[in-house]
Each structure stands twice: as structure tokens, then as C-alpha cells.
């Protein structure tokens, strides 16, 4: 079994607001294996970003962790002091942000911005740090790096800036890289380049990646495993093939069904909106939008049902007593493909 380097258990996070406590993360558990890429997928407000911020110890002031643990190298990150977290951030767990246009300091040379983590964590002197910064700048594919290292962020394009942000994140060779929608703000061709770069660097640097996105198309090419989040909870997780070709949760069905395929003539949307997390529903939070919802969905939260060793889904449809339902056409097609795939591999 692969070595687990991060183990999140029963994480619960509330945000204090004037209207009351928003239960943003409601009992989330997942783990990250060494060297793999875990994609966390979900729509806006599902709690993806909050989860990762808690891994970095960078939650907003009004956020409070009310339960759970985040074990990293047998130590609970949530119990660490701010000072201890400063030694982990940027060195062992690094992060790439969504918008490269705003995530670089406009008044600092990029060389210094890349060198900073080295000087802080590895106590490297400035000259050596800049030399290492140059190396990593070449590694992320900035051409003419010797000269450009002295430039300021506004002198770079969006794609180049995201490469620089990646360079900053990777300069200390972190064990875990959190990428929070790293390609959302980029146009499609640049997206592909950045994803390709991340894959290459992952192989070189041997880092594990937590990839946050709402774009399933990106997930397919990047991830080893996928966790689908909805309303502050994980509703289904499994390997990338299991999620794409053998999805079990109606929300995952909805997500995949709303993705364009070569044969689709019309895109299906998931009707309705996510529940208000100020006052989350008692039962399955997806019940109100779920055409397959049963009476029990409204009354009781479904537990995780095991689909395979690596694949779990929290839906009552997997209960032995549940009636057999026919998923959307597209999902049936995927299930058939999956049956073929597993048949071949067996």
C-alpha cells in the first residue's frame, strides 16, 4: 500500500458571520499518498479552497476548526503554532494560487520573489538563493531566464506569471503542492501548457499534488484519484477511472453529464442551487436537487458505501435495499465502458 503523507480525518470548519455560523466544512476525511495527484472537485462554495487553506494554516480570521485532525508525518497540523506553521509553509507544503495576475508582488523583482522561500527556509544567502532561483526559473520554462530574473511581474504574460508562481512554490522542493484552480484564470492553450509543466515537474521533484478544480476536463488528465465535494462534504471518491467511468453518486452523475462530449448535442445542467450552509439540511444535502432522491435522503445522511477497495460513495442508492435506478444515458454509456475496461484488465 502506498505511503500516506497526509491524512485528514473528520475535519469540521465553521465561519463566524453576523448571520450565524456557516458550516463550511462538515466532516471531511481524505488522504494523500506519496507522489500521487489527488483532485478535489466541486462547485463554488463546496469547501474545496477552505479545506486546502486549513492544510496551510491560512484560514481567515473568522474561521474556526471545530473538529478533526490533519496528520502530516504523524503530527497534527491543526495543533501546530503559527511559528511552527511558518516553517512548514513554503518548505514542506507549498501552494499555487488561482490568479497569476494578482498573486505576484508588483514591486519586487521576480528573482527575489523566488529566492525568498530559500532564504527563509534553507538559510541560503542571497547570491546563492538567486542562483537557485535562476535554475528553477529555467526549469519552469521561462526563456532567457538570466535576464528576465531581474524583471518585475508586469513584464510577464499571464502564462509566464503562473510559471513563476509555480517556481516559487517548488523552489524548496515541497512534499505537498496544493494547486488551487491553477489554470482557471488562463486561456485554454496556456492551460494545457501549465498542466503539462506541472506533470513534468511532479515527476522531477517527486512531490504530491492536491489539485483543486471545478473543471472535470482538467482532472481527467492530471489526477490519480478524485474526491468530489458537495456542500462542505466529500460525496464520492475513487481513482480517476472509477470516478469518470463508474460514478455512483447522483451528484457526480450530474457533473459528468454537464460536461460536453463528442456526441452531446445539448449540455445538461444540474437544476437548483447548493444548500445554505448556515443551516444545512438534515439529510443528504444533495437531496433537493437529486431526481433520484428517496424519502430517506431527506431524513438521514447517507454513510459511505464501499464500491471497491479505492472507491466509496455516500448515497443511499448503494444501500442493498435501495431500488435499482437507471442513471442518465451518458452515465450508462460510461458504466458500459468501465465494464469493458475492467474486463480487459482482468
Partner 1 sequence: MRKYLLKRVFYMILTLFLVASITFFLMKLMPGTPYSNQEKMTPQQIQIMNEQYGLNKPIWMQYLIYLGGMLHGDLGTSFQFSNQPVSYLISSRIGPSAQLGAQAMVFGLFFGIIVGSIAAINRNTWIDTTSTVLSIIGKSVPNFVLAVLLQYYIALKLGWFPIADWGSFSYTVLPTIALGVGPLAETARFIRTGMVDVMNSDYIELAKAKGLSRYGVVYHHALRNSLIPLVTLIGPYTVALMTGSLVIENIFSIPGIGEQFVKSILTNDYPTIMGVTMLFSAGLVVVILLTDIIYGIIDPRIRLSGNGD
Indicate whether 58 belongs to the interface with partner 1 (CB under 8 A).
yes
Indicate whether 261 belongs to the interface with partner 1 (CB under 8 A).
no
Indicate whether 90 belongs to the interface with partner 1 (CB under 8 A).
yes
Indicate whether 164 belongs to the interface with partner 1 (CB under 8 A).
no
Residue 170 grid cell: 517548488
- Pairing label, strands 176-180, 208-213: parallel
Q: With contact defined as beta carbons under 8 Å apart, do 221 and 189 qualify?
A: no
Residue 310 neighbours by CB distance under 10 Å: 13
Cβ closest to partner 1, residue 17 vs residue 308: 17
Indicate whether 111 belongs to the interface with partner 1 (CB under 8 A).
no
Indicate whether 99 belongs to the interface with partner 1 (CB under 8 A).
yes
Indicate whether 177 belongs to the interface with partner 1 (CB under 8 A).
no
Q: With contact defined as beta carbons under 8 Å apart, do 284 and 301 qualify?
A: yes
CB of 313 to partner 1, least distance (A): 33
Indicate whether 173 belongs to the interface with partner 1 (CB under 8 A).
no
Segment near partner 1 (CB under 8 A), from 32-40, 98-106, 303-311, 326-334? Answer: 98-106
Report helix, strand or coil for 209.
Answer: strand
Residue 156 grid cell: 510577464
Cβ closest to partner 1, residue 186 vs residue 216: 186
Instruction: Give dist(CA 321, CA 344) in Å, integer.
Output: 31
Indicate whether 182 belongs to the interface with partner 1 (CB under 8 A).
no
Report which DSSP code applies to 288: G
Indicate whether 168 belongs to the interface with partner 1 (CB under 8 A).
yes
Q: With contact defined as beta carbons under 8 Å apart, do 157 and 165 qualify?
A: no
Q: With contact defined as beta carbons under 8 Å apart, do 193 and 4 qualify?
A: no
Reading phi first (left if > 0) and then psi (alpha if -120 to 50, else beta), residue 74 is in left
Q: With contact defined as beta carbons under 8 Å apart, do 232 and 43 qualify?
A: no
Indicate whether 88 belongs to the interface with partner 1 (CB under 8 A).
yes
Segment near partner 1 (CB under 8 A), from 89-97, 204-212, 226-234, 288-296? Answer: 89-97
CB of 324 to partner 1, least distance (A): 48
Which residue matches cell numbers 505537498?
176
CB of 52 to partner 1, least distance (A): 10
Segment near partner 1 (CB under 8 A), from 14-22, 64-72, 105-113, 269-277? Answer: 105-113
What is the CA 148 to chain-centroid distance, rounded?
31
3-state helix, strand, coil in the chain (%, to 5): 40, 25, 40
Indicate whether 308 belongs to the interface with partner 1 (CB under 8 A).
no
Which residues face 252 on adjacent strands? none
Among 9, 31, 80, 120, binds partner 1 (CB under 8 A): 120
Among 5, 56, 234, 255, binds partner 1 (CB under 8 A): 56
Segment near partner 1 (CB under 8 A), from 100-108, 128-136, 230-238, 289-297? Answer: 100-108
* Count, residues near partner 1 per rule CB under 8 A: 30
What is the CA 7 to chain-centroid distance, rounded?
14
Q: Which residues of this chain interact with partner 1, rule CB under 8 A?
A: 56, 58, 85-91, 94-95, 97, 99, 102-108, 116-117, 120-121, 150, 152, 154, 165, 168-169
Amino acid at each position: 500500500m502506498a505511503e500516506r503523507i497526509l491524512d485528514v480525518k473528520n475535519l469540521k470548519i465553521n465561519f463566524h458571520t453576523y448571520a450565524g455560523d456557516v458550516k463550511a466544512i462538515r466532516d471531511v476525511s481524505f488522504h494523500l499518498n506519496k507522489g500521487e495527484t489527488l483532485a478535489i472537485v466541486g462547485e463554488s462554495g463546496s469547501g474545496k479552497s477552505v479545506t486546502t487553506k486549513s492544510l496551510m494554516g491560512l484560514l481567515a480570521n473568522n474561521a474556526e476548526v471545530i473538529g478533526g485532525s490533519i496528520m502530516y508525518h504523524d503530527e497534527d497540523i491543526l495543533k501546530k503554532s503559527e511559528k511552527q506553521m511558518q516553517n512548514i509553509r513554503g518548505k514542506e507544503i507549498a501552494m499555487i494560487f488561482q490568479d497569476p495576475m494578482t498573486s505576484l508582488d508588483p514591486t519586487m523583482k521576480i528573482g527575489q520573489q523566488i529566492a525568498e522561500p530559500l532564504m527563509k527556509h534553507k538559510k541560503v544567502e542571497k547570491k546563492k538563493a538567486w542562483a537557485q532561483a535562476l535554475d528553477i526559473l529555467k526549469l519552469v520554462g521561462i526563456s532567457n531566464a538570466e535576464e528576465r530574473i531581474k524583471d518585475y511581474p508586469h513584464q510577464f504574460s499571464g502564462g509566464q506569471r503562473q510559471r513563476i508562481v509555480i517556481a516559487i512554490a517548488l523552489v524548496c522542493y515541497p512534499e505537498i503542492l496544493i494547486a488551487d484552480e491553477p489554470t482557471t484564470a488562463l486561456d485554454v492553450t496556456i492551460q494545457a501548457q501549465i498542466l503539462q509543466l506541472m506533470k513534468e515537474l511532479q515527476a522531477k521533484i517527486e512531490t504530491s499534488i492536491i489539485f483543486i478544480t471545478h473543471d472535470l476536463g482538467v482532472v481527467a488528465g492530471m489526477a490519480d484519484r478524485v474526491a468530489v465535494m458537495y456542500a462542505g462534504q466529500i460525496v464520492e471518491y475513487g481513482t480517476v477511472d472509477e470516478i469518470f467511468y463508474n460514478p455512483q453518486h447522483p451528484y457526480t452523475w450530474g457533473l459528468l453529464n454537464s460536461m460536453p462530449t463528442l456526441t452531446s448535442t445539448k449540455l445538461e445542467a444540474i437544476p437548483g442551487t447548493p444548500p445554505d450552509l448556515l443551516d444545512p439540511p438534515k439529510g443528504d444535502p444533495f437531496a433537493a436537487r437529486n431526481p433520484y432522491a428517496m424519502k430517506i435522503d431527506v431524513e438521514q445522511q447517507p454513510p459511505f458505501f464501499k464500491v471497491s477497495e479505492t472507491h466509496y460513495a455516500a448515497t443511499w442508492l448503494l444501500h442493498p435495499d435501495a431500488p435499482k435506478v437507471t442513471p442518465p444515458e451518458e452515465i450508462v454509456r460510461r458504466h458500459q465502458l468501465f465494464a469493458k475496461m475492467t474486463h480487459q484488465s482482468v
